């Protein structure tokens, strides 16, 4: 059904740790993985699935590690990849950073986790907060207090333990919208969308019931309310804690939240957004002598708002040299290892326009290798503002002890995958 | 279980170290003991062989320290198989641990015991497992449920005798969702490895329980349940709709795998819904957004999603027809994502969006990644063929690209321009001059062959066609077969068009092909031309210069029955490979292929009567040979769909069942089984033995040994579906009658026109099988007529060791 065994390999393909769940695939098969991967890389045909005879390797890479699942059945591939990423998430929460050293230093816990995360190829408990209640890094602590299965593991509410206590009950809500834009070299917007995310930091006692109200157009239409600006969410994805059937029937977002930080939901909005920072560029390449770059950045958002930490990244040929810059504001820097000019503007008010010029020399002997046409990319953050106009109208918090709790809301818009193609 | 990495086998722990560890393991101090076990595990992890310490480690098993216990268990799992006798020492502790007051320990014990694949131990596992299956703690029960699947894998008979399967089925009604989910997972796993066990006896009551648990269990549990639901066939459209309604909320789950499994259930059950139902339309609309959102997941998940979307748009193009933009390629997409996006872009291309698509494709064609650029160029050609209105723009885009003089771009462009000529003859010859300029730079066989084809086809309009073709002739024997064949045909065409100037040339090529070549295909074609030309030049002209049928709009569509099967496997490896599981999973050859349920509504065909749509032609699923496709589907429906009352699925003994198989995975391949491949040059006497062996495999008859030789002939299976045989469907079987091997075939003409002149040719095979006489077919075969033919065979033909015979081709001139 899913994985027969899971391996963690270093960059050379050496097994750091592994767990055989089903015993139907020879563990030595893993030796074929790295040579095959390298062969595929050479041929330019990398694929997330590699097969060798009747064995299939499904793999992901994380920092200096490969996580590989083997199978010889018609496994559920999407489940396997989701699970591999879940392992990364759990290990990262346990060891802060997941890399070769953290695996080697913590092999006992890694074994325990692998034993608990999956059984006979079926993923089991993968919520790291709950796992931390009974698989701890210090065995001594475990002996005394936590030698019992937390009921949470098998509860319908498998993401929150009972008996959580806070002196002050608060919830922090972050609404973060990322703008994805793809602009063609001739300046037309090929595609654009907004991916929003609502993140919670919950500091609430007991087992609180929460309800989140948004200015969701479908909800307003259902309830017959017709006031103010509403937002059409194309697609919504929820954390395990949200009652999906309830949302499906009456668009109510109701849930018992996980403790601490979590992503409650994400949504996608398809509306055509005006690129908040518009870039016009002229890149002229004079073979064997120089490249001249002129970039104009314009803030296409309200005057009252300010975009922070703006970075405009302009690609330059890999053999360019002796950079010279001129900027009307901010700072331009050449990053040769990435073949980029990075133009940084700490604070970029709406409606303003800035200019950057760059000049590079080119060697007289031309580079033979063809280079791709990387796009200009832009990074920014605009606080106190969402492009879509989405709003948290209320957050109701009900707990049987009857405490009062305060929700805090923060809005921010940022760049997502923000690409502008160039002519060169 | 951990096994030592063979690379490290040489690094045995030196005896001194073993000795030291031994002492520490037997220490009285708990802490020291634990540290020692940790050291042992550490050595094991880096691949050192520490099996010599087995008794000492097992001695540490009886401890109240949970961490130490876990480490010892880990060691046991790893080494028990190599030391089965010693492993028995651990049994007592396991049994004791299964009764421990702490549920963590009970579960740990039963979980570990199931992982020790030693027969002697499994006997002792039964009693503890029985108790754990009824444990008061759900954590223990959910672990025990999985343990049943483990035990079944080791000793299926034992599990059945002990009645564990029934207990497992009872757990589907457990009050705890996690237990239900694991029970479902375990049952599905067992059912998958024993397809005929009829284990997952899904009825409306169980389905209801599963749907209830779906709302409460973990994300993984939801996937187990959804995957299990996908195997159910609803009784009618109403049940189908009500299940769909309860599954759709899962489309909003953050886990991509949950979403894809839900999509699988919906895509399958949707087949049962009448197309005029409002709910059908609603469901279609609901599917698009989550599919699009999958493209924001991690690249590997995106890849799985894209491979599945590729199937979904072939089955139901209307779902994503407005979503072209999301498939535009981003610079930083991994190559495997780029290639898949490109493929889907072409599938979604229509008159409405073609301008945008072309602009994108042109952009991609100037990238640097060779594979991607090639595919982009090819895509432009496919657009031209698919959307007639865009053909002119596509051709001019291709010409622009040829001007770049980038070698592989030029070659790729020429290959697709040839296809454009096939689709729109006599329309774009003005570009031939430009193409000819690039003749010298072509070094890939496909491009060379395409160029030669163009020169031959339009020889009368190319002044120096003879010179061009002659230039290729010099290195005739160094060319690949593809180019040689094309060159032969092109020169014959040229000769028929300009006989006076090219007599010498044609003679030269004919003699090169017939006298100096070892290639039978080339020789045969050469002789045919030669005889045609020498006996009846007029007829030759009619044959060689006959008007060619136009090529179809869509190329590389997945064959409909395979597509149906793959839709049932959404999210799995099969859907990623676009191959049925039988093609890559060992031991699954006899497994029934999954099919979509037929619509019980009005018995409509697949095409949606979506007449009001604006995009026109692109709406209906692209039709290869539409009428036959439906015919085939209907036939299968009639014969195959289990009766409407959902009883147990029929055992796959009916011959027609195999009809649904594709040739690659099923058909001949499975009939002839592995025994065949292993017995090269089989004599007639040994012929039927492997067949019945293969049959055993296929039908799980078990008692096949006592079967009289030749008394049973395998039923006919479809060898060549009409789809692939240009309308001719061939089903057949091998039989032995009166001691003579016969190939018995049923030929059905599913094309519109009369078929005549049948002939058969056997490729060289491992058994030396060849026809003992000519194929006798009462011709002609009129449309929809069926004919039975028996061809006697002998085994004196040339033997060539090869993989089992697994394909058939339909040929036509």
Each residue of B375-391: pLDDT tens digit? Answer: 999 999 999 999 999 99
Q: Is the peptide bond before B592 cis (omega within 30 degrees of 0)?
A: no
Q: What is the mean pLDDT of chain B?
A: 80
> Is the pLDDT higher at B282 or at B648?
B282
Question: For residue range B474-511, what is the model confidence (pLDDT) as tens digits?
Answer: 888 889 999 999 999 999 999 999 888 888 899 999 99
What is the token pair recorded at A21?
Answer: 């769940």
Please name the residues in contact with B742: beta carbons below 8 A apart, sequence gap of 6 or more.
B734, B735, B736, B790, B791, B792, B793
pLDDT at A10 over 80: yes
Residue with tokens 């641990």: B97
Count of alpha carbons within 13 angstroms of residue B365, beta-carbon side: 30
CB-CB contact of A50 with A33 (8 Å): yes
- Report the gap between the CA of B654 and the closest CA in chain A (Å): 25
What number is the average pLDDT over the span A283-306?
93
State residue B588's pLDDT score. Answer: 64
Chain A positions in Cβ-Cβ contact with residue B177 (cut-off 8 Å): 156
State residue B121's pLDDT score. Answer: 82
What number is the average pLDDT over the span A47-65?
96
- Report the gap between the CA of B38 and the closest CA in chain A (Å): 8
State residue B322's pLDDT score. Answer: 92
pLDDT at B313 over 90: yes
Helix axes B256-269, B219-229, angle to 10 degrees: 20
Please provide residue B686's backbone torsions phi and psi, each rounded to the nearest 5 degrees. -85, 5
Are the beta carbons of B146 and A149 separated by less than 8 Å? no
Please provide residue B730's backbone torsions phi and psi, each rounded to the nearest 5 degrees. -120, 125
pTM for the whole structure: 0.80
Question: For residue range B162-204, what is the model confidence (pLDDT) as tens digits?
Answer: 999 999 999 999 999 999 999 999 999 999 877 766 777 788 9
Question: For residue range B777-810, what is the model confidence (pLDDT) as tens digits?
Answer: 766 777 777 777 777 777 766 655 554 444 444 4
Chain B positions in Cβ-Cβ contact with residue A272 (cut-off 8 Å): none
What number is the average pLDDT over the span B654-674?
37
State residue B207's pLDDT score. Answer: 93
State residue B264's pLDDT score. Answer: 98
pLDDT at A347 over 50: yes
What number is the average pLDDT over the span B293-313?
97
State residue A371's pLDDT score. Answer: 78
Chain B positions in Cβ-Cβ contact with residue A139 (cut-off 8 Å): 34, 65-68
Please provide residue B701's backbone torsions phi and psi, each rounded to the nearest 5 degrees. -75, -25
Question: For residue range B665-712, what is the model confidence (pLDDT) as tens digits?
Answer: 333 333 333 333 333 333 333 333 333 333 333 333 333 333 334 345
> Is the pLDDT higher at B471 or at A150?
B471
State residue B790's pLDDT score. Answer: 79
- CA dist B580 and B572 (Å) reads 10
CB-CB contact of B466 with B501 (8 Å): yes
Angstrom CA distances, B39 to A14, B5, B34, B66, B82, stand at 20, 17, 9, 17, 20
Chain A positions in Cβ-Cβ contact with residue B113 (cut-off 8 Å): none
pLDDT band at B368 (very low <50, low <70, confident <90, very high): confident
> Is the pLDDT higher at B245 or at B588?
B245
State residue B726's pLDDT score. Answer: 66
Chain A positions in Cβ-Cβ contact with residue B367 (cut-off 8 Å): 372-373
- CA dist B668 and B763 (Å) reads 14
Are the beta carbons of B575 and A77 separated by less than 8 Å? yes
pLDDT band at A148 (very low <50, low <70, confident <90, very high): low
CA B453-B478-B497 angle, 5° bins: 30
Please provide residue A311's backbone torsions phi and psi, each rounded to the nearest 5 degrees. -130, 120
Are the beta carbons of B146 and A85 separated by less than 8 Å? no
pLDDT at B606 over 90: no
Angstrom CA distances, B363 to A185, A186, A372, A375, stand at 9, 11, 11, 12
Q: Which of A46, A156, A182 faces B216 most closely, judged by CB atoms?
A: A156
Displacement of CA A276 from its chain's centroid (Å): 21
What number is the average pLDDT over the span B100-108?
91
CA B54-B60-B61 angle, 5° bins: 95
State residue B713's pLDDT score. Answer: 63
- Report the gap between the CA of B340 and the closest CA in chain A (Å): 11
Q: Percent of chain B having pLDDT more than 90?
A: 46
State residue B8's pLDDT score. Answer: 35
State residue B554's pLDDT score. Answer: 67
DSSP state of B330: P
- Helix ranges, A49-176 (H): 77-95, 100-105, 107-117, 128-134, 139-144
What number is the average pLDDT over the span A149-153?
72
Please name the residues in contact with B500: beta carbons below 8 A apart, sequence gap of 6 or more.
none
- Report the gap between the CA of A303 and the closest CA in chain B (Å): 31
Residue of A nearest to B296 (CA): A195
Please name the residues in contact with B568: beta carbons below 8 A apart, sequence gap of 6 or more.
B230, B264, B268, B594, B595, B596
State residue B767's pLDDT score. Answer: 64
- Among A336-345, B132-141, B364-373, B661-670, which stretch is predicted with the lowest mean pLDDT? B661-670
State residue B702's pLDDT score. Answer: 35
Please name the residues in contact with B367: beta carbons below 8 A apart, sequence gap of 6 or more.
A372, A373, B373, B376
What number is the average pLDDT over the span B445-472?
91
Q: Which of A45, A234, A419 faces B331 most closely, judged by CB atoms?
A: A419
CB-CB contact of B459 with B494 (8 Å): yes
Please name the residues in contact with A407: beta carbons below 8 A apart, sequence gap of 6 or more.
A170, A171, A172, A173, A392, A395, A397
Angstrom CA distances, A127 to A1, A183, A239, B566, stand at 21, 39, 12, 32
Residue with tokens 């040829």: B402
CA neighbor of A68 nearest in space, from A23, A19, A109: A19
Chain A positions in Cβ-Cβ contact with residue B150 (cut-off 8 Å): 120
pLDDT at B243 over 90: yes
Number of other CB atoms surrounding residue B531 within 10 Å = 11
- Report the gap between the CA of B482 and the closest CA in chain A (Å): 24
pLDDT at B153 over 70: yes
pLDDT band at B610 (very low <50, low <70, confident <90, very high): very low
Please name the residues in contact with B489: beta carbons below 8 A apart, sequence gap of 6 or more.
B453, B456, B525, B529, B544
Question: For residue range B430-442, what is the model confidence (pLDDT) as tens digits?
Answer: 899 889 888 888 9
Count of alpha carbons within 13 angstroms of residue B76, beta-carbon side: 32
Are the beta carbons of B575 and A31 separated by less than 8 Å? no
SS3 string, B524-580, reads HHHHHHHHHHHHCHHHHHHHHCCCCCCCCCCCCCCCHHHHHHHHCCCCEHHHHHCCC
What number is the average pLDDT over the span B21-46?
89
State residue B425's pLDDT score. Answer: 86
pLDDT at A238 over 90: yes
State residue A100's pLDDT score. Answer: 95
> Is the pLDDT higher at B764 or at B546?
B546
CA neighbor of B618 nearest in space, from B276, B314, B395, B274: B314
Q: Which of A15, A235, A247 faces B293 most closely, judged by CB atoms?
A: A235
pLDDT band at B755 (very low <50, low <70, confident <90, very high): confident
CA neighbor of A273 nearest in space, from A312, A234, A301, A303: A301
Are the beta carbons of B220 and A122 separated by less than 8 Å? yes
pLDDT at A143 over 80: no
Question: For residue range A359-376, what is the model confidence (pLDDT) as tens digits?
Answer: 999 998 877 777 788 999
Q: Which of A27, A120, A417 faces B149 most closely, judged by CB atoms?
A: A120
Residue of B nearest to A112 (CA): B70
What is the token pair recorded at B263?
Answer: 């999509």
CB-CB contact of B593 with B621 (8 Å): no
- Report the gap between the CA of A68 and the closest CA in chain B (Å): 12
- CA dist A6 and A91 (Å) reads 14
Please name the residues in contact with A150: beta carbons below 8 A apart, sequence gap of 6 or more.
A130, A133, A134, A161
| Range among B32-46, B119-133, B302-316, B602-616 rated most confident | B302-316
| Range among B98-112, B628-642, B768-782 rated most confident | B98-112
State residue B272's pLDDT score. Answer: 93
CB-CB contact of A372 with B367 (8 Å): yes
pLDDT band at B644 (very low <50, low <70, confident <90, very high): very low
- CA dist B771 and B764 (Å) reads 11
Among B249, B258, B363, B375, the strongest candidate for a mutation testing the A interface, having the largest count of A CBs within 10 A, is B249
CA B434-B440-B443 angle, 5° bins: 115
ipTM for the whole predicted complex goes beyond 0.85: yes
Question: For residue range A155-214, what is the model confidence (pLDDT) as tens digits?
Answer: 778 899 888 999 999 999 999 999 999 999 989 999 999 999 999 999 999 999 999 999
- Among A135-139, A243-247, B569-573, B659-663, which stretch is predicted with the lowest mean pLDDT? B659-663
- Among A23-37, A300-314, B364-378, B650-664, which stretch is predicted with the lowest mean pLDDT? B650-664
Q: B114-124 burial, b for 16+ CB within 10 Å, e for fewer?
A: bbbbbeebbeb
CB-CB contact of A194 with A180 (8 Å): yes
Q: Percent of chain A having pLDDT more than 90?
A: 79
Partners of A294 in beta bridges: A282, A357
- CA dist A298 and A51 (Å) reads 50
Chain A positions in Cβ-Cβ contact with residue B211 (cut-off 8 Å): none
Q: Taking chain A, what is the end-to-end CA distance rounded to the nearest angstrom?
A: 48
Question: How many A×B Cβ pairs under 8 Å?
Answer: 269
Please name the residues in contact with B774: beta carbons below 8 A apart, sequence gap of 6 or more.
B759
pLDDT at B812 over 90: no
Among B149, B218, B244, the strongest candidate for a mutation testing the A interface, having the largest count of A CBs within 10 A, is B218
Are the beta carbons of A76 and B227 separated by less than 8 Å? yes
Lateral strand order in the sheet of A253-255: A253-255, A209-214, A392-398
């Amino acid at each position: 059904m899913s994985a027969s065994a899971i391996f963690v390999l270093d960059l050379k393909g050496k097994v750091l740790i592994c767990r055989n769940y089903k015993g139907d695939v020879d563990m030595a098969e893993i030796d074929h993985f790295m040579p095959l991967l390298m062969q595929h890389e050479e041929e330019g045909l990398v694929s997330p699935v590699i097969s060798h005879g009747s064995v299939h390797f499904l793999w992901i890479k994380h920092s200096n590690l490969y996580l590989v699942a083997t199978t010889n059945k018609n496994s559920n591939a999407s489940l396997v990849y989701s699970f591999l990423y879940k392992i990364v998430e759990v290990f990262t929460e346990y060891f802060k950073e997941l890399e070769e050293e953290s695996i080697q230093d913590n092999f006992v816990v890694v074994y325990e986790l692998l034993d608990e995360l999956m059984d006979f190829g079926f993923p089991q408990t993968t919520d790291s907060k709950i796992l931390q209640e009974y698989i701890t890094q210090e065995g001594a602590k475990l002996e005394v207090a936590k030698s019992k299965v937390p009921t949470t593991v098998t509860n319908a509410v498998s993401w929150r333990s009972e008996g959580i206590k806070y002196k002050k009950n608060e919830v922090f809500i972050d609404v973060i919208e990322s703008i994805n834009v793809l602009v063609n070299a001739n300046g037309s917007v090929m595609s654009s969308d907004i991916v929003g995310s609502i993140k919670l930091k919950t500091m609430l006692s007991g087992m609180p019931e929460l309800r989140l109200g948004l200015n969701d157009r479908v909800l307003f239409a259902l309830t017959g309310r017709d006031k103010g600006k509403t937002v059409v969410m194309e697609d919504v994805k929820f954390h395990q804690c949200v009652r999906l059937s309830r949302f499906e029937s009456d668009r109510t977002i109701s849930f018992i939240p996980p403790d601490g930080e979590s992503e409650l939901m994400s949504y996608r909005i398809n509306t055509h957004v005006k690129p908040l920072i518009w870039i016009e560029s002229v890149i002229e390449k004079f073979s064997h002598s120089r490249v001249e770059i002129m970039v104009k950045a314009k803030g296409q958002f309200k005057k009252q708002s300010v975009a922070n930490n703006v970075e405009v990244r302009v690609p330059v040929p890999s053999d360019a040299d002796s950079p010279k810059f001129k900027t009307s504001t901010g700072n331009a820097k050449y990053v040769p290892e990435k073949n980029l000019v990075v133009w940084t503007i700490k604070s970029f008010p709406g409606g303003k326009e800035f200019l950057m010029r760059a000049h590079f020399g080119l060697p007289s002997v031309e580079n033979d290798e063809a280079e791709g046409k990387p796009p200009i990319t832009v990074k920014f953050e605009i606080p106190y503002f969402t492009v879509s106009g989405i709003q948290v109208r209320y957050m109701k918090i009900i707990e049987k002890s009857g405490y009062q709790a305060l929700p805090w809301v923060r809005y921010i818009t940022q760049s997502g995958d923000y690409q502008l193609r160039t002519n060169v | 279980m951990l096994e030592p990495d063979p690379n490290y086998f040489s690094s045995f722990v030196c005896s001194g170290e073993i000795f030291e560890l031994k002492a520490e393991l037997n220490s009285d101090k708990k802490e020291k003991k634990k540290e020692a076990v940790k050291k042992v595990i550490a050595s094991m992890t880096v691949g050192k062989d520490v099996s010599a310490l087995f008794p000492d480690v097992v001695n540490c098993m009886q401890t109240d320290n949970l961490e130490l216990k876990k480490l010892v268990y880990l060691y046991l799992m790893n080494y028990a198989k190599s030391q089965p006798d010693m492993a028995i020492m651990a049994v007592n502790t396991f049994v004791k641990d299964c009764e421990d007051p702490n549920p963590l320990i009970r579960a740990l014990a039963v979980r570990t015991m199931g992982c020790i694949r030693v027969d002697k131990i499994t006997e002792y596992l039964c009693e503890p497992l029985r108790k754990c299956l009824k444990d008061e703690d759900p954590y223990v029960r959910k672990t025990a449920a999985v343990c049943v699947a483990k035990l079944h894998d080791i000793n299926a008979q034992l599990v059945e005798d002990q009645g564990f399967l029934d207990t497992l089925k009872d757990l589907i009604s457990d009050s705890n969702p996690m237990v239900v989910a694991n029970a479902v997972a375990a049952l599905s796993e067992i059912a998958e490895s024993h397809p005929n066990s009829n284990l997952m006896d899904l009825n409306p009551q169980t389905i209801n329980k599963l749907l209830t648990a779906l709302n409460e269990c973990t994300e993984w549990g939801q996937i187990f349940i959804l995957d299990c639901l996908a195997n159910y066939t609803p009784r009618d459209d109403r049940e189908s709709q009500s299940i769909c309604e309860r599954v759709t909320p899962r489309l909003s789950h953050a886990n991509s795998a949950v979403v894809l499994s839900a999509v699988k259930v919906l895509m399958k059950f949707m087949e049962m819904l009448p197309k005029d139902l409002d709910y059908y339309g609603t469901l279609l609309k609901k599917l698009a957004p989550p599919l699009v959102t999958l493209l924001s997941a991690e690249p590997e998940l995106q890849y799985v999603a894209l491979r599945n979307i590729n199937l979904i748009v072939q089955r139901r193009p209307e779902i994503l027809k407005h979503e072209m933009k999301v498939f535009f390629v981003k610079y930083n997409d991994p190559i495997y994502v780029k290639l898949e996006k490109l493929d889907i872009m072409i599938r979604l291309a229509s008159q409405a969006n073609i301008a945008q698509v072309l602009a994108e494709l042109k952009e991609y064609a100037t990238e640097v990644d060779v594979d991607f650029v090639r595919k982009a160029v090819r895509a432009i050609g496919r657009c031209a063929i698919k959307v007639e209105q865009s053909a002119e723009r596509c051709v001019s885009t291709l010409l622009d690209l040829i001007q770049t003089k980038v070698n592989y771009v030029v070659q790729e462009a020429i290959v697709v321009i040839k296809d454009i000529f096939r689709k729109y003859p006599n329309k774009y010859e003005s570009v031939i001059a430009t193409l000819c300029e690039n003749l010298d730079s072509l070094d890939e066989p496909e491009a060379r062959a395409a160029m030669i084809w163009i020169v031959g086809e339009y020889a009368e309009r190319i002044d120096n066609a003879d010179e061009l073709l002659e230039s290729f002739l010099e290195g005739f024997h160094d060319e690949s077969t593809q180019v040689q064949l094309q060159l032969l045909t092109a020169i014959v065409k040229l000769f028929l068009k300009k006989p006076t100037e090219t007599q010498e040339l044609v003679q030269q090529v004919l003699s090169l092909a017939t006298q100096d070549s070892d290639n039978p295909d080339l020789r045969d074609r050469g002789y045919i031309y030669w005889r045609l030309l020498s006996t009846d030049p007029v007829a030759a002209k009619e044959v060689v210069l006959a008007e060619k049928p136009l090529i179809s709009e869509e190329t590389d569509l997945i064959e409909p029955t395979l597509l149906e099967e793959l839709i049932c496997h959404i999210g799995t490896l099969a859907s990623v490979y676009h191959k049925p599981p039988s093609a890559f999973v060992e031991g699954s050859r006899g497994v029934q292929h999954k099919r979509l349920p037929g619509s019980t509504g009005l018995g409509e065909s697949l095409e949606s009567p979506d007449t009001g749509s604006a995009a026109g032609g692109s709406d209906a699923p692209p039709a290869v040979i539409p009428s036959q496709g439906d015919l085939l589907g209907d036939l299968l429906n009639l014969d195959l769909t289990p009766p409407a009352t959902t009883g147990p699925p029929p055992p796959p003994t009916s011959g027609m069942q195999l009809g649904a198989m594709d040739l690659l995975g099923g058909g001949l391949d499975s009939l002839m089984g592995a025994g065949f491949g292993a017995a090269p040059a089989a004599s007639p006497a040994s012929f039927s033995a492997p067949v019945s062996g293969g049959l055993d495999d296929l039908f799980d008859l078990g008692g096949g040994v006592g079967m009289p030789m030749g008394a049973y002939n395998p039923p006919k299976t479809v060898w060549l579906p009409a789809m692939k045989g240009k309308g001719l469907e061939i089903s057949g079987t091998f039989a032995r009658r009166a001691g003579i091997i016969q190939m018995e075939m049923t030929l059905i003409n599913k094309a519109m026109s009369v078929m005549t002149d049948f002939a058969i040719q056997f490729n060289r095979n491992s058994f030396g099988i060849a026809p003992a006489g000519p194929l006798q077919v009462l011709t002609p075969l009129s449309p929809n007529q069926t004919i039975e033919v028996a061809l006697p065979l002998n085994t004196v033909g040339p033997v060539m060791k090869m993989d089992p015979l697994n394909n058939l081709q339909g040929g036509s001139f």
